[in-house]
Structure 1
Amino acid sequence: MMISSSKAAAAYSRTQSALSTSGADASVSGSTEATGFGDALQSAIDGVVNTGEQAEAKAATGLHGQGNLTDIVTSVSQAQIVMQTASTVRDRVIQSYQDIMRMTI
């Protein structure tokens, strides 16, 4: 399955805007609130959940005979791509952790 560069750029942009809005406030105000990998990961997980919920809602309207078929299929396909991406990232994180644990000190 191929992901277009525009979708990848949009996902990167969303991640960067989420990090920059929360990180910029902390650095300007001198707050000790830290944003990092955990916050970015939580934001990404929330995005996956929201996409899944939207796809489920569209599919439910389709089951009731309402809604546009093109919108329903597009929404479900987008949710599938998001879940595949999340699964791939999870697998890479686990693989990286295992590689680090195998390193000799």
Structure 2
Amino acid sequence: MLIATSDTVAPHQIAETLGIVRGSTVRSKHVGTDIVASLKQVIGGELKGYSSLLAGAREQALDRMIEDARALGADAVVAVRIQTSTITQGASEILAYGTAVKLKP
């Protein structure tokens, strides 16, 4: 499955637009991660626990978007975007979305 943030996938041409596809996941913070993050805020530095959490969530959202595209028979997903929103205090949604397309042979 080809994935692109652009509207096209060079050198291919789009034969058919199949529609919007999406994948999302909601993740919450672990209390241990919060404790370490609180200490890091005092001394500064990367919050690696949160970075890892969000990286995994992005991959899962992209995987779910690809599953949605495969179900439509897509060859590629173009105009892919990833969005994050807060659901509640301590929980965020990661949403990946784009347009599923069939490519010319």
Q: TM-score, normalised by structure 2?
A: 0.33
| Structure with greater proportional strand content | 2
Structure of greater relative contact order (alpha carbons < 8 Å, 6+ residues apart): 2
| Structure with greater proportional helix content | 1
Q: TM-score, normalised by structure 1?
A: 0.33
